[in-house]
Amino acid sequence: MTDSRTAPEDITAAVLASFEGCPDGRLRELMQTLASHLHAFATEVGLTQDEWESAVRVLTATGHITDDRRQEFILWSDSLGLSMLVDALAHALPAGATESTVLGPFYVPGSPLREYGANIAEEAAGTPAWVQGRVLGIDGAPIAGAELDVWQNGDDRLYAVQDPEAPEDHLRGRFLSRPDGSYAFWAVRPVPYTIPHDGPVGSMLAATGRHPWRPAHIHMIVRALGYKTLTTHIFDEESPFLDSDAVFAVKPSLVRQFVTRSADDPDRPDGVSGEWVSVENDLVLVPEIAD
């Protein structure tokens, strides 16, 4: 007698076949490949009903905790290394170009446009940091009028978007490079901080013996007409967690020395007293037409 029972591979085949009529070829490829890998994962690990139900609960909790100030889905992508993998696949760079890294969940568009040398800290937030450098093309030519969209955390380990008591534009701002490609601004020396770990992602980290810490860094998005937009970080070389970033975003080429300066340092810019730090950070962009 013929066995008419449905085998697991029959279910996979039926799901893949269901997408054959998709008129968008790329969408068809994405959905069939996604389904194929999901089914292969479940088969390989012998996924149980209880485990499947737990996964559904985790996804449901992720949706519930996500709002305008908290993006738990991005945290999942970051903490599983998917964000960095997608970034790496999308940004094959020529030699000398500044490397990209993750956007992170705390970016807020519409930061105020500030003057050269202005301070992004609208209240006390840590050791003053003078950040300067040039925006250049891969040929070494300066890029004038490039926009640097900057944001960071303060010594309380929070971004302004996380702190309802902080001024709206605290620790963020946009700057334009000068005709010689130079830019400069006052920030604060960043400190390590934890990604939000009171939700589903934090539960995963705790259960798997991972920590939620990110090393100290300043975020930048650099935009210039005729060049590919660059999303990157400046990492502090003295920070802990450089070798175990919770979101896998550290690239050695982005690590910088934050030099400690004294109040009587002859290079001290106007408007600062007490100890401060300085960091040099050139940014090299790739033309839009480059492969």
pLDDT in tens, 246-256: 999 999 999 99
- Work out the pLDDT band at 264, boundaries 50, 70, 90: confident
Burial of 178 (0-12, 13-18, 19+ CB in 10 A): middle
Supply the pLDDT for residue 1: 56
Q: How many CB atoms lie under 10 A from the CB of residue 141?
A: 9
pLDDT in tens, 100-109: 998 887 899 9
Tell me how far apart the alpha carbons of residues 171 and 119 are, in angstroms, rounded to a whole number: 8
Burial of 286 (0-12, 13-18, 19+ CB in 10 A): buried
The arithmetic mean of pLDDT across residues 180-205, rounded, is: 96
pLDDT, the chain, mean:
93
> Any idea which residue has 């589903």 for tokens?
200
> Any idea which residue has 């990110």 for tokens?
214
- Work out the pLDDT band at 79, boundaries 50, 70, 90: very high
The arithmetic mean of pLDDT across residues 56-68, rounded, is: 95
Supply the pLDDT for residue 183: 98
Supply the pLDDT for residue 2: 64
Supply the pLDDT for residue 269: 67
Tell me how far apart the alpha carbons of residues 194 and 85 are, in angstroms, rounded to a whole number: 21
- Work out the pLDDT band at 81, boundaries 50, 70, 90: very high
Supply the pLDDT for residue 86: 93
Which one, of 232, 270, 217, lies nearest residue 146 by Cα? 232
Q: Which amino acid is at 273?
A: S
Supply the pLDDT for residue 71: 87
Asked if the model's pLDDT at residue 289 lies above 80, the reply is no
Q: Are 238 and 231 in contact (CB under 8 A)?
A: no
Asked if the model's pLDDT at residue 157 lies above 60, the reply is yes
Asked if the model's pLDDT at residue 265 lies above 90, the reply is no
Backbone angles phi, psi at 34, to 5 degrees: -60, -50
pLDDT in tens, 233-243: 999 999 999 99
Tell me how far apart the alpha carbons of residues 223 and 221 are, in angstroms, rounded to a whole number: 7
Asked if the model's pLDDT at residue 271 lies above 90, the reply is no
Which one, of 134, 112, 131, lies nearest residue 184 by Cα? 131
Tell me how far apart the alpha carbons of residues 112 and 264 are, in angstroms, rounded to a whole number: 31
Token duo for residue 135? 């925006």
- Work out the pLDDT band at 259, boundaries 50, 70, 90: very high
Higher-scoring residue by pLDDT: 206, 289: 206
